[in-house]
Structure 1
Amino acid sequence: MGQEIARVAVGTGGGGLDIVELPLPEIGKDDGLLLVETNGVCGSDWELLHGEVEGYEMPMVLGHEPTGRILKVGPVAAQRWGITEGDRVAVSSQLRCGTCEGCRGGGRCVTYPGTYGTMPARVLPGLWGGFATHMYLAPATSLVRVEESVSTEALAFHNPLANGFQWAVEAGGASPDTDVLILGSGPRGIACAMAALYVGARSVTITGLAHDQSRLDLAQALGVHRTVVVKTAEPDELRDAVGSHQVVIDTTPVSGIATRQGIAAATTGARIVLCGLKGKGVKLDVDIDDLVYRRLTITAPPSKTPASFRRAVEALNSGRISLGPMVTASYPLARALDAIGTLTSKDPDRAFHVRVDPQT
């Protein structure tokens, strides 16, 4: 098998990150071992690293967007996953046994105290994240085979794309008969636009602030029909500028202004999808009767489901999803902390999407 140890990035709390060496585990009939190719970097990695997300235990194995090649797999697992050794796969961060009280009730799995990328480092065999040369594939793993034609850059974007399919298509109902309005032009907002375009939405509009112009230009290069620079906090600004939409997706962080503008720009019977976390204390005052009379549906879906994860990877496999001019950046495992740090950079020329390539 070659290398007998794995190198893993472990968040120690307070922004600290250690690269540690761990032995490769023995693989049985029902599990496997992944040679990690790439792992996208997410804003939540920075929050987890700095202990800003409640309910997670440090130290923690990081990297929740893992992809790579099957290095070893047991016969039972190979049959269940439909793969063989050497196959290229994307791995969902979710770990669910499917039988515990948490899984049956739609909550957090009791069997696994974390997910890929959030597992406490104390849990053996310790290879629970994509910021690593190798990752353990537990029996509860969900994965999808990836075609060789998919570039590393595109593959690293599979998790934001799964968010896009979950929010725009599964939760929002984007289809050829809908006009879609996306608030926020970060990676998740762009991913929502890509998913909406993929299913043939009649029109896709995306918003940003003045300093987001390069991101709005990227959105147009990817095929978005209209971009809008939001200039005020007036609730009716977007509606007056772009009209009403059947699907409204708010991916913006921190402020509730965009949410109010999104509700105002929703047509009768629209679906409003809330997916940008605002932080504690951000509240929304709405006219309840207005929601009722306009028959609005407001939903706050999960970041992804097995269905949206599979749909995103299948879209990449189809060749119909391209990152186009999206600027990406690759970091080796030894610089995983630098990769995470780029997320707070104020450099207007910084890469739009960042990944860690542990084999480089």
Structure 2
Amino acid sequence: MRVLLIEELGARPAVVEVPDPVCPDDGVVLQVEATGVCRSDWHAWQGHDDSVVLPHVPGHELAGTVVTAGPLVRRWRVGDRVTVPFVCACGTCPTCRSGEQQVCPHQTQPGFTHWGSFAELVALHHADTNLVRLPDGMAATTAAGLGCRFATAYRALTVHGRVRTDDQVVVLGCGGVGLSAVMIARSLGARVAGVDTSAAARAAALELGADAVLDPGDDSPEEVAGRLVELTGGGAHVSVEALGDPRTAVTGVLALRRRGRHVQVGLLLGAHSRPPLPMDRLIAWELELYGSHGMAAHEYPAMLAAIAEGRLSPDRLVGAVVGLDEAADALAALGEPGAARVGMTVVVP
């Protein structure tokens, strides 16, 4: 099969031919129909993820067709069109049995713990726990974004944010996850403010339903939070940090009203992984602080129902569609300030 192979961290990956993947006994091999280009893939390429072992094939947002099923698989057969959460849980540990597969301690992640979906074929583990059947008629290019950015934003807002009609929601960072959050929050009846330094990203947020947008410029986190408190009439009920920046995380906490909820979705890596946060405000105002790490397969039906009913339109988030030979350029673009941030780039191998 053809894959985009990383042989040296930070060096341009190349499209090469390698042997087809071996199907796990409890898993499947998919023919990849489409795979999203996510900033997490860029982090893996740059060496920011300790689980990556070279040589490596990135890619974790995917949709495809089952071409091989292992002997222990009971629910899936050749020809099924599926997607999968970026966290593939074991399905048997106490955490999984409690329904929290998105934080399974034995998880695998295509594109991180093993070769991913920037390829013609990809192997996935624990198929009966993790695969999600695609609705009839859903394009693979749309489905590719469900396993990471869209499902992550959906669970962040519905489970942790508990967004209700007329809530004030602030979305910090209007990239793939952030624009998904804008759309989802608006569908839940919230009033939404999007924050981004990119004029194009702010324009996209308005097109997807944001009531207002804000350019933070060079203001301090405290100053940006003050502007957001004024914009939201006293502070947000829910803030979602979708960028992965310590300053933006502080802004999100300080932009809340009393008893508000901050959901941290953006990855804070390396030297940024343990930022100082305003815990004095957290205690005095009884704020809630959550991390959000994707969404388990068993939680997909409500999201898919909202898509089927037309309340959510993830197809509107799809931008450029490229072939595997253009995937390296798409990956590299994610490292350029302000580049490739509006609309999901999708690779069709």
TM-score (norm 2): 0.83
Asked if 1:286 is matched to 2:286, the reply is: no
Asked if 1:355 is matched to 2:346, the reply is: yes
CA displacement, residues 239-298 of structure 1 (integer Å, 9 cap, x when unaligned): 123321211112233342x3333223212211111222344156325252x323322111
Letter in structure 2 aligned against 1:90: T
Give the whole-Å Cα distance in 2 for the aligned partners of 1:284 and 1:115.
Answer: 29
CA contact (8 A) 1:221 1:325 kept: no
Asked if 1:139 is matched to 2:126, the reply is: yes
CA contact (8 A) 1:117 1:130 kept: yes
Question: CA 1:285/1:61 → structure 2, altered by over 3 Å: closer, same or farther?
Answer: closer
CA contact (8 A) 1:315 1:321 kept: yes
Letter in structure 2 aligned against 1:354: T
CA contact (8 A) 1:62 1:130 kept: yes
Question: Match of 2:202?
Answer: 216
1:39 aligns with one of 35, 39, 53: 35
My pick for the range that moved more, 6-15 or 94-103, is: 94-103
Asked if 1:118 is matched to 2:135, the reply is: no
Letter in structure 2 aligned against 1:154: T
Question: Match of 2:20?
Answer: 23
Question: Match of 1:95?
Answer: 88
Question: CA 1:287/1:135 → structure 2, altered by over 3 Å: closer, same or farther?
Answer: closer
Structure 2 SS opposite 1:12: coil
Give the whole-Å Cα distance in 1 for the aligned partners of 2:111 and 2:231.
Answer: 41
Asked if 1:178 is matched to 2:167, the reply is: yes
CA displacement, residues 155-198 of structure 1 (integer Å, 9 cap, x when unaligned): 23212101111222221111225221111111111111122223
Question: CA 1:207/1:132 → structure 2, altered by over 3 Å: closer, same or farther?
Answer: same
CA contact (8 A) 1:15 1:49 kept: yes
CA contact (8 A) 2:150 2:314 kept: no
CA contact (8 A) 2:34 2:62 kept: yes
Q: How many residues align?
A: 335
Asked if 1:201 is matched to 2:189, the reply is: yes
Structure 2 SS opposite 1:236: helix
1:270 aligns with one of 248, 251, 260: 260
Larger gyration radius, structure 1 or structure 2: 1
Could you tell me how far 1:31 is from its partner in structure 2? 3.6
Question: CA 1:118/1:321 → structure 2, altered by over 3 Å: closer, same or farther?
Answer: same
Give the whole-Å Cα distance in 1 for the aligned partners of 2:288 and 2:8.
Answer: 39
Structure 1: 5+ residue runs without aligned partners?
A: 1-5, 121-127
TM-score (norm 1): 0.81
Structure 2 SS opposite 1:23: coil
Structure 1 segment 1-360 matched on structure 2, within 5 A: 6-16=1-11, 17-18=13-14, 19-23=16-20, 25=22, 30-73=26-69, 77=73, 79-80=74-75, 83-99=76-92, 109-110=105-106, 114-120=108-114, 128-140=115-127, 142-158=130-146, 159-176=148-165, 178-198=167-187, 200-209=188-197, 212-231=198-217, 232-233=219-220, 234=223, 235-243=225-233, 244-256=235-247, 258-279=248-269, 280-281=271-272, 283-286=275-278, 288=280, 290-309=281-300, 311-323=302-314, 326=317, 328-346=319-337, 352-358=343-349
What root-mean-square deviation, in Å, do the aligned CA atoms of Structure 1 and Structure 2 show?
Answer: 3.0
Q: Percent identity?
A: 26
Structure 1 SS opposite 2:181: helix
Structure 2 SS opposite 1:22: coil
Letter in structure 2 aligned against 1:356: V
Question: CA 1:353/1:272 → structure 2, altered by over 3 Å: closer, same or farther?
Answer: same
Question: CA 1:350/1:46 → structure 2, altered by over 3 Å: closer, same or farther?
Answer: closer
CA contact (8 A) 2:334 2:340 kept: no
Structure 2 SS opposite 1:118: coil
Structure 2 SS opposite 1:238: helix
Structure 2: 5+ residue runs without aligned partners?
A: none
